[in-house]
Structure 1
Amino acid sequence: MARTLTLAGEDAPDNGAAPTLEQLRTRIAGMQDGVPRVPVPTHPAIADLLQLRTGGAYQVDRPSLGMALLGAASREGAWSAVVGAGDFGVEAAAELGVDLTRTILVPDPGDQWLEATAALVDVVSVVLLRPPAGVTARTAGKIAARLRKRSSVLVVWGEWPGVEARLSVLESSWSGAEEGHGRLRARKVVLGVQHGTAPQRRAELWFPSPDQTMVRIEPASVGRASFVEEVTA
């Protein structure tokens, strides 16, 4: 069971220089303020779009994406925390790989949300935060410095200045209910991932898939499935 605490209150040009530019970007991403930025386990369905690194903050537009980011690290033994999300679904989180026995929940930190987040950054690997509206760049900068010092990762459900990447669900459609009857079993989404001012990259996913996980939809596999249907029809 999760532990709960209550507190008061531009892509590289298509030429021979591309490999060199990519190598430089990787080296820069791996160092910040002289502190090594170590890769953190990232969900395999989106690993080609996003690589979490210690010292970084990442923004999501819904809690399920935050759970998926927590889950990959949690499966590898990392401790995590969730701050300010009173409606956080622990069952859904567990299905996405979050180990609840190594998860600290602070559902209602009130005015102490910043102190709670800073304290948890000191002791866990990944923190999922739902912040209040209107967080300033100065406040975000304080947490950023803490993240680098403690080699932690911050996933923010909501607006946050200076994040390294923003993940958002651009399109969504459910399957399972036929003519208004039955149970919704899976949802197909188009996920957008944007790093700074670079062009947004997109991918189709089953999220959740019928087994309640995140699965990449590859165009080639869709084509093969259609071909099989036509042959067997």
Structure 2
Amino acid sequence: MSAMVSSATLSAPTADGVSVGVPHVEAGGVPGAGRVLPTRAELAAVLPWPGLRRGSTVAVHGSVSLLFALLAEATASGSWATVVGLPGINLVAAAEAGVSLERLAVVPQPGSDPAGVIAALLDGVDLVVVGGTAQVLDADARRLSARARHRGSVLLPFGRWPGAEVQLRCSGARWRGLGHGHGHLREREVAVHAEGRGAASRPRSHRVLLPSRDGAIAAVPTAPTDIAPVVPAGTGVAENDSADTAVGIGAVERPAARAHLRAVAG
């Protein structure tokens, strides 16, 4: 199961007097300890590096499924990850996406000094996800990116982040599984887009299954079948990421490997 961080080798006090500890990690946050954290090949196709480069800041926009896909390979390979400021994160969806919950620590509410908490976590954790409730000033965001570079951690803001080297987002969602008016939604084909600065200045796009039938990211088959756009009821908006955001964090989970929709409490 994931860890609700409470005590460890490093800690950062909040205004409420609660210390947020950092799990002890032998190689985490140490510059030079493996310069690139592994990712699936489907994501490496859009990143400017063969994985997640230590010291980088990679902002993920709108898609929780994409966020989980970034964490999956690294945590499965032994890296630690922390999610800060996403109080309703769906751990069932994370596990189905391949995230190793044994190496995932969750800090739902970072208190009144989120920048201090995030800074402490960057000192000892390989990947640090920052959600919307961990609001930081633009100046603090840039300082935290600099700290990630110095400590060799990967900073993964979920949403806007000044100075992020790479911006990732999904578009063009098409669900698979529906036949002629019947069937189950089994997997979703999307385009993953990357743009940014420096090595990421050339925009890249790659179509993937996210999620695939087993819940993880996968390559798109050469002869796609049973593809149907889905319009969320009452919104009149097709192929966006608003539903994906709710899927990963809120009360309704995305299609699971058993090919049916389930309600999961956040």
Question: TM-score range with shorter-chain normalisation?
Answer: 0.7 to 0.9
For the residues of structure 2 that align with 1:93 and 1:212, how far apart are their CA atoms? 9
Deviations 1:19-50 (A, max 9, x none): xxxxxxxxxxxxxxxx6581111222121221
> CA 1:47–1:147 in 2, change beyond 3 Å: closer, same or farther?
same
Q: For 1:42-53, what aligned pairs fall within 5 Å after superposition?
A: 42-50=39-47, 51=49, 52-53=52-53
> CA 1:181–1:112 in 2, change beyond 3 Å: closer, same or farther?
farther
Say which SS state the counterpart of residue 162 (structure 2) adopts: coil
Q: How far did residue 209 of structure 1 move?
A: 0.7
Q: For 1:118-157, what aligned pairs fall within 5 Å after superposition?
A: 118-132=119-133, 135-157=136-158
> 1:70·1:128 contact (CA, 8 Å) conserved in 2?
no
Q: For 1:140-179, what aligned pairs fall within 5 Å after superposition?
A: 140-178=141-179
For the residues of structure 2 that align with 1:208 and 1:96, how far apart are their CA atoms? 7
- Which residue in the other structure is 2:26 paired with? none
Q: Which runs of 5+ in 2 are unaligned?
A: 7-13, 17-30, 226-266
For the residues of structure 1 that align with 2:180 and 2:88, how far apart are their CA atoms? 31
Say which SS state the counterpart of residue 113 (structure 2) adopts: helix
Q: How far did residue 75 of structure 1 move?
A: 1.0
> As a proportion of its length, which structure holds more helix?
1
Q: How far did residue 134 of structure 1 move?
A: 7.1
Count of aligned positions: 197
Paired letter, 1:56: S
> 2:45·2:206 contact (CA, 8 Å) conserved in 1?
no
Q: Which runs of 5+ in 1 are unaligned?
A: 10-34, 226-233
> 1:71·1:97 contact (CA, 8 Å) conserved in 2?
yes
Percent identity over the alignment? 35
For the residues of structure 1 that align with 2:152 and 2:85, how far apart are their CA atoms? 22
For the residues of structure 1 that align with 2:68 and 2:15, how far apart are their CA atoms? 25
> CA 1:87–1:178 in 2, change beyond 3 Å: closer, same or farther?
farther
For the residues of structure 2 that align with 1:5 and 1:75, how far apart are their CA atoms? 19
> 1:137·1:162 contact (CA, 8 Å) conserved in 2?
no
For the residues of structure 2 that align with 1:156 and 1:216, how far apart are their CA atoms? 25
For the residues of structure 2 that align with 1:183 and 1:111, how far apart are their CA atoms? 44
Paired letter, 2:95: A
- Which residue in the other structure is 1:208 paired with? 211
For the residues of structure 2 that align with 1:140 and 1:75, how far apart are their CA atoms? 28
> 2:75·2:99 contact (CA, 8 Å) conserved in 1?
yes
Paired letter, 1:43: R
> 2:114·2:135 contact (CA, 8 Å) conserved in 1?
no
- Which residue in the other structure is 1:88 paired with? 89
For the residues of structure 1 that align with 2:87 and 2:182, how far apart are their CA atoms? 31
> 1:121·1:150 contact (CA, 8 Å) conserved in 2?
yes
Please say if 1:38 is aligned against 2:39: no
For the residues of structure 2 that align with 1:70 and 1:117, how far apart are their CA atoms? 17
Q: Which moved more, 1:119-128 or 1:93-102?
A: 93-102
- Which residue in the other structure is 1:26 paired with? none
TM-score, structure 1 normalization: 0.76
> 1:96·1:213 contact (CA, 8 Å) conserved in 2?
yes
For the residues of structure 2 that align with 1:173 and 1:110, how far apart are their CA atoms? 39
Q: How far did residue 178 of structure 1 move?
A: 4.0
Q: How far did residue 120 of structure 1 move?
A: 1.1
Paired letter, 2:219: R
> 1:83·1:106 contact (CA, 8 Å) conserved in 2?
yes
